[in-house]
Amino acid sequence: MLSKKTKYGLKALSYLASQDNRLPVQIAEIAKHENISQKFLESILLTLRKSGLLGSKKGKGGGYYLIKDPEDILMTDVMRILEGPIALVPCVSLNFYEQCEDCPDEATCAVHKLMLQVRDSALTVYRNNTLADIIK
Amino acid sequence: MLSKKTKYGLKALSYLASQDNRLPVQIAEIAKHENISQKFLESILLTLRKSGLLGSKKGKGGGYYLIKDPEDILMTDVMRILEGPIALVPCVSLNFYEQCEDCPDEATCAVHKLMLQVRDSALTVYRNNTLADIIK
DNA sequence: TGCATACTCTATTAAATCGATAGGGTAAAA
DNA sequence: TTTTACCCTATCGATTTAATAGAGTATGCA
């Protein structure tokens, strides 16, 4: 299941991408428009800023804004930042690989075999979608 | 992330499918072979039996066995029984649909648009894999 | 300079979920 | 009638999730 963090983060990014200009947008405005708890959204936007997707400006007229064009923001990056690994099990993860303690052999593991396909299919979707694509 | 319940359930099904015959296999044997907590596995096998994938036999010589051929057991069914919805958000779920309270319009929702694609790609994988496929 | 604005950061918490465990109950076979 | 092995309920600790509170800090502007 998709976490609310990811859901809200995607909605916030979409809202920013659909602005006419790149002027900073206040947290309060995003929260209100997307029906998100403002405080919770704060922490999400902070995460997105630290990961380089958003910029921020303090003080009057401040807020958050996109650093890159929506066309250049890949869903693979967004998902990994907000949701973490795209793979459903660590043993098929590209960026967060971990061996299973209980599994004697990945090559013959049925779970591994299935989850590898699921990961690839999800990756294909995320790689083929930018922020611009999903707000159209 | 895939729950251990699903992971263990898949492993147990794989183990049963790879048997030479259809004689009942004891929980203890499956648990030992697949490195699973026996008590936890008990509840998982019970779920699989209630959903019609497994049969069971009590008493001496008892255990669990596959009811259908591995070729006829689709991963879509297994995943829905063990893991629940395949969709990452209820608003794109075929079997567990629910409307989002916070979302004013699904048609224009970016999250909806993206997750619809993810669901379809996962469904394709699960529909194209039977239990027989993943133990090969 | 001083004030208002709005982001920054830490800590806390309630609720839900997960994975595992305990223990007695019951059906079936020998 | 005894043993075997599945059946079922209850509970529990740990973790994660979603949300909240509140103090801190940088910026713009008068």
Percent residues over pLDDT 90 in chain B: 97
CB pair distance less than 8 Å for A7 and B111: yes
| Count of helix runs (H) and strand runs (E) in chain A | 6, 2
Tell me the pLDDT band of B24, cut-offs 50, 70 and 90: very high
A101 confidence band (pLDDT: 50, 70, 90): confident
Q: Judge whether A8 and A40 are in contact, CB under 8 Å.
A: yes
Question: Is residue B84 exposed (0-12), middle (13-18) or buried (19+ Cβ within 10 Å)?
Answer: middle
| Helix ranges, chain A (H) | 4-17, 27-34, 38-50, 75-82, 110-127, 131-134
Three-class SS state of B65 = strand
Q: By the CB < 8 Å criterion, does A33 face chain B?
A: no
Q: Is A96 helix (H, G, I), strand (E, B) or coil?
A: coil
Average pLDDT over residues B50-66: 96
Mean pLDDT of chain A: 96
- Contacts of residue A21, defined as CB under 8 A and 6 or more positions apart, other chains included, come to none
Question: Which residue from B28, B34, B25, B31 is spatially nearest to B56, judged by alpha carbons?
Answer: B25
Nearest to B10 among A36, A111, A134 (CB): A111
CB nearest to A114's CB, from B114, B121, B129: B129
pTM: 0.94
Chain B's closest residue to A118, CA to CA, is B122
pLDDT of residue A114: 98
User: What does chain B come to in residues?
Assistant: 136
Distance of CA A107 to the CA centre of its chain: 31
In this model, does residue A2 exceed pLDDT 90?
yes
A30 interfaces chain B, CB cutoff of 8 Å: no
- What's the Å distance between residue B14 CA and nucleotide C7 C1'? 53
pLDDT band at B67 (very low <50, low <70, confident <90, very high): very high
What is the per-residue pLDDT for B101?
87
pLDDT in tens, B87-132: 999 999 999 999 998 888 999 999 999 999 999 999 999 999 999 9
CB A70 within 8 A of CB A130: yes
pLDDT-derived band at B46 (thresholds 50, 70, 90) equals: very high
Q: What is the pLDDT of residue A28?
A: 97
Residue with tokens 């629940």: B84
Q: Which pLDDT score, from 0 to 100, does residue B102 have?
A: 87
Strand C closer than 7 A to residue A32 Cβ: no
Residue B74 forms contact with A (CB below 8 Å): no
Residues in chain B within 8 Å Cβ distance of A118: 122, 125-126
Does the beta carbon of B99 lie under 8 angstroms from any beta carbon of chain A? no
Q: pLDDT averaged over chain B?
A: 96
Give CA separation, A124 vs A74, A86, A121, B17, in Å: 11, 11, 5, 31
